[in-house]
Amino acid sequence: MSVEPIVIDSIINGKKHKAEKQAPRENPANPEEVVGYAPLNTKDETIQAIDAADQAFTEWRQSSFEDRISRMRRAIQKIKDNASDIAALLSREHGKALYDAKGEIAVSLMWMEFACDNVMEVLQDEVNEHDGGKTIIARDAIGVISAISPWNYPISLSTIKIAPALLAGNTMVLKPSPLAPLAVSRVAEIIAGEFPAGVLNLVHGEAEVGVELTSNPKVAKIAFTGGTETAKHIMKAAADTIKHMTLELGGNDAAVVLEDFDVNDEKAMRRIVVSNFLTAGQICMIAKRVYVHESIYDSFIEKYQEAADKWIRVGDPFAEDVTIGPVNNKKQMEFVQGLIDDSKQKGAEVIKLGKIMDEDLFKQGYFMQPTLVLGADYDDPIVEQEQFGPTVPILPFKDDEHAIHLANKSIYGLTSSVWGKQEHAVKVAKRIQAGTTMINTAAIQGLDVRFPFGGVKQSGIGREYGKEGLLAYAETHVINMPDALDLPYIPE
Ligand code: NAD
Protein backbone atom coordinates (compact mmCIF):
# COMPACT_ATOMS: atom_id res chain seq x y z
CA MET A 1 0.00 0.00 0.00
CA SER A 2 1.53 3.30 -0.99
CA VAL A 3 0.72 6.55 0.78
CA GLU A 4 0.81 10.21 -0.23
CA PRO A 5 4.41 11.53 -0.01
CA ILE A 6 4.98 13.95 2.84
CA VAL A 7 6.98 17.15 2.56
CA ILE A 8 9.37 18.20 5.30
CA ASP A 9 10.57 21.78 5.77
CA SER A 10 13.63 23.04 7.49
CA ILE A 11 13.23 25.05 10.71
CA ILE A 12 15.17 28.27 11.03
CA ASN A 13 14.66 30.60 13.98
CA GLY A 14 11.39 28.97 14.97
CA LYS A 15 9.83 29.21 11.52
CA LYS A 16 9.27 26.56 8.87
CA HIS A 17 11.41 27.36 5.90
CA LYS A 18 10.71 26.15 2.33
CA ALA A 19 13.93 25.35 0.54
CA GLU A 20 14.15 25.89 -3.20
CA LYS A 21 15.25 22.33 -3.85
CA GLN A 22 13.87 19.11 -2.39
CA ALA A 23 15.29 15.60 -2.39
CA PRO A 24 12.94 12.60 -2.62
CA ARG A 25 13.29 9.77 -0.13
CA GLU A 26 12.38 6.38 -1.55
CA ASN A 27 10.89 3.39 0.22
CA PRO A 28 13.67 0.74 0.33
CA ALA A 29 11.05 -2.04 0.21
CA ASN A 30 9.65 -0.49 -2.99
CA PRO A 31 12.12 2.00 -4.48
CA GLU A 32 9.55 3.30 -6.95
CA GLU A 33 7.52 4.76 -4.11
CA VAL A 34 8.52 8.20 -2.83
CA VAL A 35 7.84 8.34 0.90
CA GLY A 36 8.49 12.05 1.15
CA TYR A 37 10.63 15.02 0.24
CA ALA A 38 13.24 16.68 2.44
CA PRO A 39 14.81 20.05 1.69
CA LEU A 40 18.22 20.39 0.13
CA ASN A 41 19.34 23.42 2.04
CA THR A 42 22.07 25.71 0.79
CA LYS A 43 25.15 27.06 2.50
CA ASP A 44 23.35 30.42 3.00
CA GLU A 45 20.38 28.76 4.69
CA THR A 46 22.78 26.84 6.92
CA ILE A 47 24.45 30.10 7.91
CA GLN A 48 21.01 31.56 8.72
CA ALA A 49 20.29 28.57 10.98
CA ILE A 50 23.66 28.92 12.74
CA ASP A 51 23.10 32.67 13.19
CA ALA A 52 19.66 32.00 14.68
CA ALA A 53 21.14 29.49 17.12
CA ASP A 54 23.90 31.92 18.00
CA GLN A 55 21.44 34.74 18.72
CA ALA A 56 19.16 32.49 20.76
CA PHE A 57 22.09 31.30 22.86
CA THR A 58 22.49 34.61 24.74
CA GLU A 59 19.11 34.22 26.44
CA TRP A 60 18.75 30.46 26.42
CA ARG A 61 21.95 29.91 28.39
CA GLN A 62 20.41 31.96 31.20
CA SER A 63 17.19 29.96 31.36
CA SER A 64 16.53 27.85 34.45
CA PHE A 65 16.81 24.08 34.59
CA GLU A 66 13.13 23.97 35.62
CA ASP A 67 12.09 25.81 32.47
CA ARG A 68 14.24 23.63 30.19
CA ILE A 69 13.05 20.40 31.81
CA SER A 70 9.36 21.28 31.63
CA ARG A 71 9.67 22.17 27.94
CA MET A 72 11.50 18.90 27.21
CA ARG A 73 8.90 16.89 29.13
CA ARG A 74 6.13 18.47 27.07
CA ALA A 75 8.00 17.47 23.91
CA ILE A 76 8.42 13.92 25.26
CA GLN A 77 4.66 13.69 25.83
CA LYS A 78 3.91 14.90 22.29
CA ILE A 79 6.36 12.41 20.79
CA LYS A 80 4.64 9.67 22.81
CA ASP A 81 1.24 10.84 21.56
CA ASN A 82 2.46 10.63 17.95
CA ALA A 83 4.71 7.60 18.35
CA SER A 84 2.77 5.18 16.17
CA ASP A 85 2.62 7.57 13.18
CA ILE A 86 6.28 8.45 13.56
CA ALA A 87 7.24 4.76 13.79
CA ALA A 88 5.29 3.97 10.62
CA LEU A 89 6.99 6.81 8.76
CA LEU A 90 10.40 5.68 10.00
CA SER A 91 9.73 2.13 8.94
CA ARG A 92 8.62 3.21 5.48
CA GLU A 93 11.55 5.52 4.74
CA HIS A 94 14.20 3.41 6.42
CA GLY A 95 13.23 -0.18 5.75
CA LYS A 96 13.47 -1.36 9.35
CA ALA A 97 10.64 -3.56 10.59
CA LEU A 98 7.85 -1.73 12.43
CA TYR A 99 8.66 -3.32 15.84
CA ASP A 100 12.23 -2.14 15.35
CA ALA A 101 11.11 1.42 14.52
CA LYS A 102 8.91 1.42 17.64
CA GLY A 103 11.90 0.18 19.64
CA GLU A 104 14.01 3.04 18.35
CA ILE A 105 11.42 5.56 19.54
CA ALA A 106 11.12 3.82 22.91
CA VAL A 107 14.89 4.00 23.48
CA SER A 108 14.91 7.66 22.40
CA LEU A 109 12.19 8.49 24.94
CA MET A 110 13.96 6.52 27.65
CA TRP A 111 17.07 8.63 27.13
CA MET A 112 15.19 11.92 26.96
CA GLU A 113 13.49 11.06 30.24
CA PHE A 114 16.79 10.06 31.84
CA ALA A 115 18.27 13.37 30.68
CA CYS A 116 15.35 15.32 32.23
CA ASP A 117 15.56 13.35 35.48
CA ASN A 118 19.30 13.77 35.92
CA VAL A 119 20.39 17.02 34.31
CA MET A 120 19.97 19.16 37.41
CA GLU A 121 21.98 16.90 39.66
CA VAL A 122 24.75 16.38 37.11
CA LEU A 123 25.12 19.98 35.94
CA GLN A 124 24.36 21.95 39.09
CA ASP A 125 27.13 24.00 40.68
CA GLU A 126 29.44 21.98 42.88
CA VAL A 127 30.38 24.17 45.83
CA ASN A 128 33.57 23.17 47.61
CA GLU A 129 34.35 24.70 51.01
CA HIS A 130 37.91 23.67 51.76
CA ASP A 131 40.87 24.65 53.93
CA GLY A 132 42.11 27.06 51.25
CA GLY A 133 38.81 28.91 50.76
CA LYS A 134 35.82 28.24 48.54
CA THR A 135 35.67 26.93 44.96
CA ILE A 136 32.61 26.55 42.77
CA ILE A 137 32.72 24.17 39.84
CA ALA A 138 30.06 25.45 37.44
CA ARG A 139 28.92 23.65 34.29
CA ASP A 140 28.38 26.30 31.66
CA ALA A 141 26.60 25.83 28.37
CA ILE A 142 29.06 25.56 25.46
CA GLY A 143 27.25 27.51 22.73
CA VAL A 144 25.96 26.55 19.30
CA ILE A 145 26.12 22.82 18.70
CA SER A 146 26.09 21.30 15.22
CA ALA A 147 24.44 17.89 15.46
CA ILE A 148 24.93 15.58 12.48
CA SER A 149 23.24 12.20 12.52
CA PRO A 150 23.31 9.06 10.35
CA TRP A 151 20.52 7.12 8.67
CA ASN A 152 20.55 3.89 10.62
CA TYR A 153 18.98 5.15 13.89
CA PRO A 154 18.00 8.67 12.87
CA ILE A 155 15.68 9.43 15.78
CA SER A 156 17.67 7.98 18.64
CA LEU A 157 20.99 9.31 17.34
CA SER A 158 19.51 12.80 17.03
CA THR A 159 17.64 12.91 20.34
CA ILE A 160 20.76 11.52 22.05
CA LYS A 161 22.26 14.94 21.17
CA ILE A 162 19.24 17.26 21.27
CA ALA A 163 18.06 16.40 24.80
CA PRO A 164 21.30 16.93 26.74
CA ALA A 165 22.39 19.88 24.60
CA LEU A 166 19.19 21.90 25.12
CA LEU A 167 18.83 20.90 28.76
CA ALA A 168 22.36 22.13 29.40
CA GLY A 169 21.52 25.54 27.91
CA ASN A 170 23.03 25.16 24.45
CA THR A 171 21.37 25.90 21.13
CA MET A 172 21.56 23.61 18.14
CA VAL A 173 21.41 23.12 14.41
CA LEU A 174 20.51 19.53 13.53
CA LYS A 175 21.25 17.90 10.20
CA PRO A 176 19.88 14.40 9.69
CA SER A 177 20.98 12.07 6.92
CA PRO A 178 19.30 12.36 3.50
CA LEU A 179 18.81 8.57 3.67
CA ALA A 180 16.22 8.76 6.49
CA PRO A 181 15.29 12.43 6.91
CA LEU A 182 11.53 12.33 7.43
CA ALA A 183 10.56 10.75 10.76
CA VAL A 184 13.39 12.44 12.63
CA SER A 185 12.19 15.78 11.24
CA ARG A 186 8.76 15.14 12.75
CA VAL A 187 10.46 14.59 16.11
CA ALA A 188 12.65 17.69 15.70
CA GLU A 189 9.58 19.77 14.78
CA ILE A 190 7.85 18.67 17.97
CA ILE A 191 10.85 19.49 20.14
CA ALA A 192 11.59 22.81 18.41
CA GLY A 193 7.95 23.81 18.91
CA GLU A 194 8.34 23.61 22.68
CA PHE A 195 11.45 25.80 22.85
CA PRO A 196 12.07 29.50 22.08
CA ALA A 197 12.80 30.38 18.46
CA GLY A 198 16.34 29.57 17.39
CA VAL A 199 17.08 27.10 20.21
CA LEU A 200 16.65 24.09 17.91
CA ASN A 201 17.04 24.59 14.16
CA LEU A 202 16.78 21.91 11.50
CA VAL A 203 18.52 21.82 8.13
CA HIS A 204 18.86 19.08 5.56
CA GLY A 205 21.27 18.39 2.79
CA GLU A 206 24.55 16.95 1.71
CA ALA A 207 28.22 17.85 2.12
CA GLU A 208 27.74 21.62 1.44
CA VAL A 209 25.55 21.88 4.54
CA GLY A 210 27.82 19.53 6.51
CA VAL A 211 30.93 21.55 5.71
CA GLU A 212 29.31 24.80 6.89
CA LEU A 213 28.08 23.16 10.08
CA THR A 214 31.55 21.90 10.89
CA SER A 215 33.63 24.96 9.94
CA ASN A 216 31.48 28.01 10.77
CA PRO A 217 33.27 29.99 13.52
CA LYS A 218 30.00 30.46 15.46
CA VAL A 219 29.70 26.71 16.03
CA ALA A 220 31.31 25.77 19.35
CA LYS A 221 30.84 22.01 19.30
CA ILE A 222 30.13 19.23 16.82
CA ALA A 223 28.16 16.18 17.91
CA PHE A 224 28.54 13.70 15.09
CA THR A 225 27.46 10.12 14.58
CA GLY A 226 28.44 8.47 11.35
CA GLY A 227 31.30 6.86 9.51
CA THR A 228 34.96 7.10 10.49
CA GLU A 229 35.93 8.43 7.03
CA THR A 230 33.40 11.29 7.30
CA ALA A 231 34.73 12.09 10.78
CA LYS A 232 38.20 12.65 9.31
CA HIS A 233 36.78 15.39 7.04
CA ILE A 234 34.91 16.87 9.97
CA MET A 235 37.98 17.03 12.18
CA LYS A 236 39.86 18.83 9.43
CA ALA A 237 36.99 21.27 8.81
CA ALA A 238 36.78 22.01 12.53
CA ALA A 239 40.50 22.41 13.11
CA ASP A 240 40.76 26.11 12.31
CA THR A 241 38.38 27.07 15.09
CA ILE A 242 39.31 24.28 17.55
CA LYS A 243 35.76 23.01 18.01
CA HIS A 244 34.75 20.66 20.77
CA MET A 245 33.64 17.28 19.50
CA THR A 246 31.79 14.15 20.37
CA LEU A 247 32.34 11.59 17.63
CA GLU A 248 30.42 8.31 17.56
CA LEU A 249 31.84 6.38 14.63
CA GLY A 250 32.04 3.02 12.97
CA GLY A 251 32.60 -0.27 14.68
CA ASN A 252 33.58 -3.82 13.85
CA ASP A 253 32.42 -5.40 17.06
CA ALA A 254 33.71 -8.82 17.98
CA ALA A 255 31.67 -11.48 19.78
CA VAL A 256 33.86 -14.01 21.59
CA VAL A 257 32.19 -17.32 22.40
CA LEU A 258 34.19 -19.17 25.06
CA GLU A 259 34.45 -22.95 25.42
CA ASP A 260 32.12 -22.82 28.45
CA PHE A 261 29.24 -21.29 26.45
CA ASP A 262 26.25 -23.63 26.37
CA VAL A 263 25.35 -24.13 22.69
CA ASN A 264 22.08 -25.74 23.79
CA ASP A 265 20.91 -22.54 25.46
CA GLU A 266 18.35 -21.55 22.83
CA LYS A 267 17.68 -18.11 24.25
CA ALA A 268 21.36 -17.23 24.33
CA MET A 269 21.76 -18.51 20.78
CA ARG A 270 18.85 -16.37 19.64
CA ARG A 271 20.48 -13.36 21.33
CA ILE A 272 23.63 -13.95 19.29
CA VAL A 273 21.60 -14.16 16.08
CA VAL A 274 19.70 -10.97 16.95
CA SER A 275 22.98 -9.24 17.77
CA ASN A 276 24.18 -10.06 14.24
CA PHE A 277 21.06 -9.25 12.23
CA LEU A 278 18.75 -6.77 13.97
CA THR A 279 17.95 -3.85 11.61
CA ALA A 280 19.43 -6.00 8.82
CA GLY A 281 22.84 -5.63 10.49
CA GLN A 282 22.87 -1.87 10.01
CA ILE A 283 23.79 -0.87 13.55
CA CYS A 284 27.12 0.50 14.71
CA MET A 285 27.08 -1.89 17.67
CA ILE A 286 26.04 -5.06 15.82
CA ALA A 287 28.31 -8.06 16.49
CA LYS A 288 30.03 -8.04 13.10
CA ARG A 289 32.49 -10.93 13.57
CA VAL A 290 32.01 -13.93 15.81
CA TYR A 291 34.94 -15.92 17.20
CA VAL A 292 34.08 -19.33 18.65
CA HIS A 293 36.35 -21.63 20.67
CA GLU A 294 37.50 -24.44 18.40
CA SER A 295 36.31 -27.16 20.83
CA ILE A 296 32.64 -26.10 20.38
CA TYR A 297 32.90 -24.62 16.88
CA ASP A 298 31.04 -27.36 14.95
CA SER A 299 28.19 -27.72 17.43
CA PHE A 300 27.93 -23.94 17.69
CA ILE A 301 27.51 -23.57 13.91
CA GLU A 302 24.82 -26.25 13.86
CA LYS A 303 22.80 -24.66 16.69
CA TYR A 304 23.41 -21.15 15.36
CA GLN A 305 21.88 -22.08 12.00
CA GLU A 306 18.85 -23.60 13.72
CA ALA A 307 18.33 -20.43 15.77
CA ALA A 308 18.89 -18.16 12.76
CA ASP A 309 16.49 -20.10 10.56
CA LYS A 310 13.85 -19.72 13.24
CA TRP A 311 14.29 -16.02 13.98
CA ILE A 312 15.17 -14.53 10.59
CA ARG A 313 12.06 -13.76 8.54
CA VAL A 314 12.81 -11.26 5.78
CA GLY A 315 9.97 -9.29 4.27
CA ASP A 316 7.57 -6.36 4.39
CA PRO A 317 8.59 -4.19 7.36
CA PHE A 318 4.88 -3.77 8.19
CA ALA A 319 4.09 -7.48 8.32
CA GLU A 320 3.75 -8.72 11.88
CA ASP A 321 5.83 -11.88 11.54
CA VAL A 322 8.74 -10.14 9.76
CA THR A 323 11.91 -9.59 11.78
CA ILE A 324 14.14 -8.07 9.09
CA GLY A 325 13.25 -5.58 6.37
CA PRO A 326 15.28 -4.42 3.40
CA VAL A 327 18.67 -2.74 3.53
CA ASN A 328 18.30 1.05 3.62
CA ASN A 329 19.84 1.88 0.25
CA LYS A 330 21.24 0.41 -2.94
CA LYS A 331 24.82 1.53 -2.34
CA GLN A 332 24.89 -0.22 1.03
CA MET A 333 23.36 -3.37 -0.46
CA GLU A 334 25.99 -3.46 -3.20
CA PHE A 335 28.80 -2.84 -0.74
CA VAL A 336 27.71 -5.73 1.49
CA GLN A 337 27.20 -8.01 -1.52
CA GLY A 338 30.72 -7.07 -2.69
CA LEU A 339 32.20 -8.25 0.61
CA ILE A 340 30.24 -11.53 0.41
CA ASP A 341 31.30 -12.14 -3.22
CA ASP A 342 34.91 -11.41 -2.35
CA SER A 343 34.93 -13.95 0.47
CA LYS A 344 33.23 -16.53 -1.76
CA GLN A 345 35.88 -15.98 -4.40
CA LYS A 346 38.57 -16.53 -1.78
CA GLY A 347 37.03 -19.93 -0.95
CA ALA A 348 34.76 -19.18 1.99
CA GLU A 349 31.42 -20.94 2.33
CA VAL A 350 28.40 -18.64 2.29
CA ILE A 351 25.27 -20.07 3.94
CA LYS A 352 21.86 -18.44 3.54
CA LEU A 353 19.86 -18.02 6.73
CA GLY A 354 16.18 -17.67 7.53
CA LYS A 355 13.11 -17.38 5.35
CA ILE A 356 12.05 -15.00 2.59
CA MET A 357 8.43 -14.21 3.40
CA ASP A 358 7.43 -12.66 0.07
CA GLU A 359 9.48 -13.53 -3.02
CA ASP A 360 7.96 -10.78 -5.22
CA LEU A 361 8.58 -8.06 -2.68
CA PHE A 362 12.08 -9.43 -2.12
CA LYS A 363 12.91 -8.89 -5.80
CA GLN A 364 11.37 -5.45 -5.84
CA GLY A 365 13.24 -3.81 -2.94
CA TYR A 366 16.75 -3.62 -1.50
CA PHE A 367 16.35 -6.95 0.23
CA MET A 368 19.21 -9.28 1.08
CA GLN A 369 18.91 -12.73 2.53
CA PRO A 370 21.11 -12.84 5.65
CA THR A 371 24.22 -14.96 5.29
CA LEU A 372 26.75 -16.72 7.44
CA VAL A 373 30.32 -16.81 6.14
CA LEU A 374 32.47 -19.76 7.17
CA GLY A 375 36.11 -20.41 6.39
CA ALA A 376 37.11 -16.77 5.79
CA ASP A 377 40.65 -15.78 6.71
CA TYR A 378 41.16 -13.69 9.82
CA ASP A 379 42.25 -10.73 7.72
CA ASP A 380 39.74 -10.99 4.86
CA PRO A 381 37.81 -7.77 4.14
CA ILE A 382 34.55 -9.35 5.39
CA VAL A 383 36.22 -9.81 8.77
CA GLU A 384 38.31 -6.66 8.92
CA GLN A 385 35.84 -4.13 7.52
CA GLU A 386 32.58 -2.89 8.96
CA GLN A 387 29.99 -4.66 6.76
CA PHE A 388 26.95 -2.78 8.08
CA GLY A 389 24.57 -5.28 6.54
CA PRO A 390 23.02 -8.73 6.98
CA THR A 391 26.08 -10.97 6.86
CA VAL A 392 28.43 -12.28 9.52
CA PRO A 393 31.66 -14.28 9.47
CA ILE A 394 32.14 -16.90 12.19
CA LEU A 395 35.71 -18.04 12.84
CA PRO A 396 37.37 -20.41 15.34
CA PHE A 397 39.98 -19.50 17.97
CA LYS A 398 42.39 -21.65 20.02
CA ASP A 399 42.41 -20.12 23.50
CA ASP A 400 41.60 -16.93 25.40
CA GLU A 401 44.85 -15.28 24.39
CA HIS A 402 44.08 -15.92 20.71
CA ALA A 403 40.51 -14.63 21.05
CA ILE A 404 41.64 -11.44 22.78
CA HIS A 405 44.26 -10.89 20.08
CA LEU A 406 41.65 -11.33 17.31
CA ALA A 407 39.07 -9.11 19.01
CA ASN A 408 41.63 -6.31 19.46
CA LYS A 409 43.07 -6.66 15.95
CA SER A 410 41.01 -3.79 14.56
CA ILE A 411 41.18 -0.06 14.04
CA TYR A 412 37.79 0.05 15.77
CA GLY A 413 36.71 -0.42 19.38
CA LEU A 414 33.04 0.41 19.79
CA THR A 415 31.36 -2.48 21.60
CA SER A 416 32.15 -6.18 21.96
CA SER A 417 30.66 -9.16 23.71
CA VAL A 418 31.87 -12.26 25.51
CA TRP A 419 29.69 -15.34 25.85
CA GLY A 420 30.24 -18.09 28.43
CA LYS A 421 30.47 -18.56 32.21
CA GLN A 422 30.21 -15.08 33.72
CA GLU A 423 33.45 -15.06 35.74
CA HIS A 424 35.49 -16.33 32.82
CA ALA A 425 33.75 -13.96 30.41
CA VAL A 426 34.44 -10.92 32.60
CA LYS A 427 38.12 -11.87 32.79
CA VAL A 428 38.32 -11.92 29.00
CA ALA A 429 36.13 -8.80 28.66
CA LYS A 430 38.51 -6.72 30.75
CA ARG A 431 41.25 -7.27 28.18
CA ILE A 432 39.19 -6.25 25.15
CA GLN A 433 39.69 -2.73 23.84
CA ALA A 434 36.17 -1.34 23.49
CA GLY A 435 33.88 1.33 24.89
CA THR A 436 31.41 -1.34 26.05
CA THR A 437 31.74 -5.09 26.46
CA MET A 438 28.58 -7.05 27.10
CA ILE A 439 28.45 -10.42 28.80
CA ASN A 440 26.10 -13.04 27.31
CA THR A 441 24.25 -10.42 25.33
CA ALA A 442 25.21 -7.96 22.61
CA ALA A 443 24.23 -4.99 20.50
CA ILE A 444 21.08 -3.07 21.47
CA GLN A 445 19.94 -5.91 23.74
CA GLY A 446 22.71 -4.96 26.17
CA LEU A 447 22.38 -1.18 25.83
CA ASP A 448 21.42 0.84 28.90
CA VAL A 449 20.89 4.58 28.45
CA ARG A 450 21.85 5.16 32.09
CA PHE A 451 25.47 4.32 31.33
CA PRO A 452 27.96 5.95 28.96
CA PHE A 453 28.24 4.73 25.40
CA GLY A 454 31.04 5.42 22.94
CA GLY A 455 34.08 4.02 21.24
CA VAL A 456 37.83 3.73 21.69
CA LYS A 457 40.42 3.83 18.89
CA GLN A 458 38.85 4.98 15.59
CA SER A 459 35.33 4.27 16.85
CA GLY A 460 35.12 7.71 18.35
CA ILE A 461 35.89 10.37 20.88
CA GLY A 462 33.75 11.06 23.94
CA ARG A 463 30.61 9.45 25.29
CA GLU A 464 26.87 9.77 24.88
CA TYR A 465 24.18 8.42 27.27
CA GLY A 466 24.61 8.26 31.02
CA LYS A 467 25.85 11.14 33.13
CA GLU A 468 28.84 11.54 30.81
CA GLY A 469 26.37 12.12 27.99
CA LEU A 470 25.05 15.15 29.90
CA LEU A 471 28.48 16.44 30.92
CA ALA A 472 29.49 16.30 27.26
CA TYR A 473 27.33 19.39 26.64
CA ALA A 474 28.83 21.54 29.38
CA GLU A 475 32.06 23.41 29.94
CA THR A 476 33.67 23.09 33.35
CA HIS A 477 34.01 26.60 34.75
CA VAL A 478 35.86 26.97 38.01
CA ILE A 479 35.08 30.01 40.17
CA ASN A 480 37.77 30.17 42.77
CA MET A 481 37.71 32.22 45.98
CA PRO A 482 40.97 31.38 47.74
CA ASP A 483 41.53 32.67 51.29
CA ALA A 484 45.12 33.51 50.45
CA LEU A 485 44.65 36.13 47.77
CA ASP A 486 48.35 37.00 47.67
CA LEU A 487 50.95 34.32 47.16
CA PRO A 488 53.81 34.39 49.66
CA TYR A 489 56.55 33.99 47.02
CA ILE A 490 55.49 37.00 44.91
CA PRO A 491 57.50 40.04 45.99
CA GLU A 492 55.77 43.27 47.22
P1 NAD B 1 28.02 8.96 7.09
O2 NAD B 1 29.31 9.28 7.76
O3 NAD B 1 28.02 8.70 5.64
O4 NAD B 1 26.96 10.15 7.31
C5 NAD B 1 26.63 10.62 8.60
C6 NAD B 1 26.14 12.05 8.48
O7 NAD B 1 27.21 12.89 8.07
C8 NAD B 1 25.02 12.26 7.46
O9 NAD B 1 24.08 13.17 7.98
C10 NAD B 1 25.77 12.86 6.28
O11 NAD B 1 24.96 13.61 5.43
C12 NAD B 1 26.80 13.72 6.99
N13 NAD B 1 27.98 14.10 6.20
C14 NAD B 1 28.48 13.49 5.10
N15 NAD B 1 29.61 14.15 4.69
C16 NAD B 1 29.80 15.16 5.57
C17 NAD B 1 30.79 16.18 5.69
N18 NAD B 1 31.81 16.27 4.84
N19 NAD B 1 30.70 17.05 6.71
C20 NAD B 1 29.70 16.96 7.61
N21 NAD B 1 28.71 16.02 7.53
C22 NAD B 1 28.77 15.14 6.54
O23 NAD B 1 27.40 7.75 7.92
P24 NAD B 1 26.07 6.92 7.58
O25 NAD B 1 26.32 6.10 6.37
O26 NAD B 1 24.90 7.83 7.63
O27 NAD B 1 25.99 5.97 8.88
C28 NAD B 1 26.66 4.76 8.96
C29 NAD B 1 27.92 4.88 9.80
O30 NAD B 1 27.63 5.48 11.04
C31 NAD B 1 28.53 3.54 10.11
O32 NAD B 1 29.92 3.61 10.00
C33 NAD B 1 28.14 3.31 11.56
O34 NAD B 1 28.96 2.43 12.27
C35 NAD B 1 28.20 4.70 12.09
N36 NAD B 1 27.39 4.79 13.30
C37 NAD B 1 28.02 4.93 14.51
C38 NAD B 1 27.27 4.96 15.68
C39 NAD B 1 27.94 5.13 17.04
O40 NAD B 1 27.22 5.43 18.00
N41 NAD B 1 29.24 4.95 17.17
C42 NAD B 1 25.89 4.84 15.61
C43 NAD B 1 25.29 4.68 14.36
C44 NAD B 1 26.06 4.67 13.21
Per-residue pLDDT reduced to its tens digit, 107-147? 999 999 999 999 999 999 999 999 999 999 999 999 999 99
* pLDDT tens readout for residues 147-165: 999 999 999 999 999 999 9
Centroid of ligand 1 to alpha carbon of 129 (angstroms): 45
Percent of the chain with pLDDT over 70: 100
Centroid of ligand 1 to alpha carbon of 157 (angstroms): 10
Residues facing 26 on adjacent strands: 34
Distances (CA, A) of 49 to 146, 179, 204, 223: 10, 21, 11, 16
Distances (CA, A) of 244 to 14, 108, 325, 461: 25, 24, 37, 10
Q: Identify the CA nearest to 179 among candidates 98, 316, 282.
A: 282
Judged by DSSP in three states, 334 sits in helix
User: Which residue's C-alpha comes closest to atom 35 of ligand 1?
Assistant: 226
Centroid of ligand 1 to alpha carbon of 169 (angstroms): 25
CA distance 289 to 384: 9
Residue 1's pLDDT is 64
Residue 3's pLDDT is 81
Atom index in ligand 1 nearest the CA of residue 284 equals 34
CA distance 401 to 468: 32
> Of these residues, 194, 248, 384, 464, which one is catalytic?
248
Centroid of ligand 1 to alpha carbon of 201 (angstroms): 19
- Please compute the mean of the pLDDT values over residues 355-378 and round it to a whole number: 98
**Pocket (CB within 6 angstroms of ligand 1):** 148-153, 157, 175, 177, 207, 210-211, 214, 225-227, 230, 233-234, 248-251, 284, 386, 388, 414, 455, 460
Question: 285 pLDDT exceeds 70?
Answer: yes
User: Which residue's C-alpha comes closest to atom 26 of ligand 1?
Assistant: 150
Residue 269's pLDDT is 98
Decide the pairing of beta strands 244-248 and 219-225. Answer: parallel
Judged by DSSP in three states, 30 sits in strand
* pLDDT tens readout for residues 214-225: 999 999 999 999
* pLDDT tens readout for residues 69-115: 999 999 999 999 999 999 999 999 999 999 999 999 999 999 999 99
Distances (CA, A) of 440 to 109, 185, 281, 308: 26, 36, 19, 17
Residue 350's Cβ-side half-sphere holds a number of Cα atoms within 13 Å equal to 18
Atom index in ligand 1 nearest the CA of residue 250 equals 34
Residue 365's pLDDT is 97
Choosing from 202, 252, 284 the residue with most ligand 1 atoms within 8 A of its CB, the one to mutate for a pocket test is: 284
Q: How confident is the model at residue 10 (pLDDT cuts 50, 70, 90)?
A: very high
> Of these residues, 26, 116, 212, 284, which one is catalytic?
284
User: Which residue's C-alpha comes closest to atom 11 of ligand 1?
Assistant: 177
* pLDDT tens readout for residues 288-341: 999 999 999 999 999 999 999 999 999 999 999 999 999 999 999 999 999 999
Question: 481 pLDDT exceeds 90?
Answer: yes
Choosing from 10, 93, 96, 148 the residue with most ligand 1 atoms within 8 A of its CB, the one to mutate for a pocket test is: 148
Centroid of ligand 1 to alpha carbon of 177 (angstroms): 8
Question: 368 pLDDT exceeds 70?
Answer: yes
Atom index in ligand 1 nearest the CA of residue 233 equals 18
Residue 416's pLDDT is 98
- Phi and psi of 106, rounded to 5°? -60, -45
Centroid of ligand 1 to alpha carbon of 99 (angstroms): 24
Atom index in ligand 1 nearest the CA of residue 176 equals 9
Examine the residue annotation and report whether 284 is marked as an active-site residue of this protein. yes
Question: 206 pLDDT exceeds 90?
Answer: no
Centroid of ligand 1 to alpha carbon of 415 (angstroms): 17
CA distance 78 to 96: 23
The phi-psi region of residue 412 (left if phi > 0; otherwise alpha if psi is between -120 and 50; otherwise beta) is beta
- The amino acid occupying position 447 is L
User: Which residue's C-alpha comes closest to atom 14 of ligand 1?
Assistant: 207
Residue 323's pLDDT is 98
Mean pLDDT score of the chain, rounded to an integer?
Answer: 97
* pLDDT tens readout for residues 169-185: 999 999 999 999 999 99
Which spans in 173-248 are helix H?
Answer: 182-194, 207-215, 228-239
User: What's the per-residue H, E or C state across 343-398?
Assistant: HHHCCCEEEECCEECCHHHHHHCCCCCCEEEECCCCCCHHHHCCCCCCEEEEEEEC
